[in-house]
Structure 1
Amino acid sequence: MLLREKAKKESKVWYAFFMRKWLAAAHGWGNKHEWLLLLLVAVIVLRIPSLVTPHYYGDEEIYLVMGRAWRMGVPLYQAMFDHKPPLIYILAGIFPTIAAFRGMLLLMMMGHTVLFWKLSKLFWGEKNRNLAKWSSGIFVLLSSWPLIEGLIVNAELLMMLPITASLVMIWPNRKYGWKKYLLAGLVAGIGWLYKIPVMFDAIALALYLFIFRADTLGKSLRNIFSGGMIAYLGGFVLPLLMTFGYYFAKGHGNDYLGTVLTMNVGYVSSWSTSSYAFNP
């Protein structure tokens, strides 16, 4: 009995010790990252109402239906159809209710806010910290504003996260090895799996980092075939190529190819459904 009481007292002492250490560490971190904490609180406050808001946007309904089909083993792009790559449907299958789906988006946007704040500091530098605060604040406001579809789960919000993460990895484009650029390209390539137009973001980043920032025209031309640019673009394309391989191995690669590429060419070029026909 005495040993048990002694063990309880010791456990309480250790618990109090670690709690004090944790609270002190959390307090110190919070003092150093006040603006980031404010941004994260803003994201949570702006997005919490969406967790209890009923369905009101058709695309979310489609994602959840496709996600349910994926979870049940129905072959996507053959028995079930939509024109986007598969990752958003997989997420809808993992988070099968509207509250869970939007809760997942809330967590992802919190992570994206952390990355965007870090990128803002890298971009503006220490001398322009106020500009970094303004840009990150505007990002949080616009990406979570309900009037411009900020609170619904859409592919545009999801595909931005890999692009931002990729840019943070290689900014400000120091002389990294090709492996670093390959990894950054792979991270950016995850955006392919949400929506095809993300390729324009990746191309713009590659042009800016490798071509436009070069000191001379000759260096710009040489950078077109540099190992870094080839590794970055190669890594970017690889995730989508892997999905092609997967669906061809499953036996309905032609359906996937026709949907993701052919259908999206018309979608991107016209931003309407009138320029192409769907024949399942």
Structure 2
Amino acid sequence: MKVFGLKINFWLLLVLGLIGVLRIPSLIEPNWYGDEQIYLVLGREIARGAVLYRDIWDNKPPLLYVLYALHPTLLWAKALATVFVLGTCTGVYLLAKKVLSNHSQPNPTPTTVFPLLATLAVGIFMSLPLLEGTIANAELFFTLPIVWGGYLIVCHAGPDPASIKLFNGFRVIPGMTIVGLLMAAAFLLKVPAIFDFAGMIFAVVLIRLARGGLASSASPPLAKLVRFILPIAISFLALLILVFGYFYFNNALADFLIASFSQNASYVAVDSGPLSKLSNPLFVKAILLVASGLLLVASYFKRFISKEMLFLALWFGFSLYGAILSNRPYAHYLLQIVPPLVLLILYVLYDFLFIRKNRLATIVVGISLCLILFALSQMFARAFALPTKPYFENWFEYVSERKLWEDYVSFFDKRTLNSYAIADYIKKRSNPDDPIFVWGDAAGVYVLSNRPAAIRFIQAHHLTTIDPANYDALINQLIKVRPKFIIISRPVHFAFPLLEDLVSFYYKEVAVFQDLHVYQLADEKNF
């Protein structure tokens, strides 16, 4: 099909349209999910001119907050996530076509149908509440640069890819420069995304070392590897240097490093035990990854599996390690493995049904995938996720005016109505530039009231994980800023005696919304 002279794949458009329709309910969700509210607070403060980490804090790399800051509303975040998911699905389609095109078949139907099935499967799993696909978390964003990076890697992984001469006859592959930029973008969205690229690059290096790419060429093996890897490394580091430079010149480099990397590492290591012990789950997972990787490599060198199988399996293995790096089983972590897992499963089926070169090895890979999926189902059995069918029923009943707004919101989290009520209360009794402070897990109050945060820490766990002994400095900041309202979640999960003293001296309790207590500045003259 052609539109304005451009060749358009009708079936791909149909699949993307179905995925887009599936994501429509997410566009009207209320402000209920805690992480989204944090991202919105940071995005709004950045849009107001705040420097990330120096003026407003959270413990993730910066790019996600920048995306939210472009237009800090929940509808924007949901719509942008939908665009990224559709972009990811398009990349999956092209990548699947590229992988399967290496196997000529008398019947072209499988190479047409399988990429569409992969696209549909990825779109569905990334759009259902089952894996928190309706939430605009980093996973929905960083899968796009990962998949498109994988597509470019596969396109340039042949024995004689297009290259350009730099100096003394040395050549590099320019397409790999884009891969490095995509890798940096994914890394700046969330650190574990780097594992996907590591797996894909490692696979291509092995394939080039094994045969075809290196053995048949007159170029030295090291030169061919450098030609492939150097542009990736240079562009990756170049973008990181620009980001580091921005925070350095804005006096926020130390905070950036602590929030994005140091505190992230501490978060991952929670409940893991001492890193020096081999019983640490991080080591156990790494050992399993190395062992399975070596088995795959040996199978490839023995020609039991194809290079396509090796590429997809190593990508999935490294991606899985990144997804389960933390010992906290949040369902949205599994979104990271959806593209490589779907592609690997479909390739295993394609290999078994149509290629038929080594069915025993294919069966072993298939059984291994089943065991991994079973283990993941046990590991994430208690992970929070909204029930899928009631989620869509709740949406349909609301848009068809069979359910009141309050009931619609309560389906997600009954406490969300408290945040809406407090925000309405604050907006009626304050000016838009009056700062507020929330002690607890209610960042939605900042968003819904559209009031600035009094200090850079907007969540109680930010204060307790960064420097629990620094409460004196924080109280001094609150005294200096004089927030118009202080909201405290009771019972208090993180004790802050100095805050209690401040509230008792200078504030009065003016409202209570279940567990959220609202205090208004009463004695401003003697503050």
Task: Give the TM-score range, shorter chain.
Answer: 0.7 to 0.9
1:192 matched to 2:380? The reply is no
Provide the residue aligned with 2:69 in structure 1: 93
Q: Residues 261 and 99 from structure 1, CA distance in 2 versus in 1: closer, same or farther, beyond 3 angstroms?
A: same
The CA deviation at 1:45 is 0.8
CA distance in 1, matches of 2:225, 2:205: 10
Q: Deviations over 1:13-69 (max 9, x none)?
A: xxxxxxxxxxx8439868x51221122112211111111121232111110000011
CA distance in 1, matches of 2:72, 2:198: 34
2:3 aligns with one of 23, 26, 29: 26
Provide the residue aligned with 2:236 in structure 1: 236
1:131 aligns with one of 98, 101, 114: 114
Amino acid at match of 1:148: L
Pair member with larger Rg: 2
CA distance in 2, matches of 1:36, 1:189: 29
Larger RCO (CA under 8 A, 6+ residues apart) = 1
Q: Is the 8 A contact 2:86 2:123 kept in 1?
A: no
Structure 1 regions of 5+ residues with no counterpart? 1-23
Question: More deviation in 156-165 or 179-188?
Answer: 179-188
Q: Is the 8 A contact 2:77 2:136 kept in 1?
A: yes
Q: TM-score, normalised by structure 1?
A: 0.81
Q: Deviations over 1:104-126 (max 9, x none)?
A: 11122222222221111111226
Q: Residues 231 and 145 from structure 1, CA distance in 2 versus in 1: closer, same or farther, beyond 3 angstroms?
A: same
CA distance in 1, matches of 2:223, 2:126: 34
CA distance in 2, matches of 1:98, 1:194: 18
Question: More deviation in 243-252 or 167-176?
Answer: 167-176
1:182 matched to 2:187? The reply is no
**SS at 1:226 equivalent:** helix
**SS at 1:206 equivalent:** helix
Question: More deviation in 237-246 or 42-51?
Answer: 237-246
Show the 5 A alignment for 1:202-213.
202-213=197-208
CA distance in 2, matches of 1:223, 1:200: 24
Q: Is the 8 A contact 1:211 1:224 kept in 2?
A: no
Identity %: 28
Q: Is the 8 A contact 2:181 2:239 kept in 1?
A: yes
Higher helix share: 1
Q: TM-score, normalised by structure 2?
A: 0.45
The CA deviation at 1:250 is 0.9
Structure 2 regions of 5+ residues with no counterpart? 106-110, 164-171, 216-220, 271-325, 329-460, 471-527
Provide the residue aligned with 2:150 in structure 1: 167
Matched residue pairs, number? 255
CA distance in 1, matches of 2:227, 2:37: 43
Amino acid at match of 1:277: T
Higher strand share: 2
Amino acid at match of 2:190: K
Q: Deviations over 1:73-121 (max 9, x none)?
A: 1221122111111111111111221112101111222222222211111
2:48 aligns with one of 68, 72, 79: 72
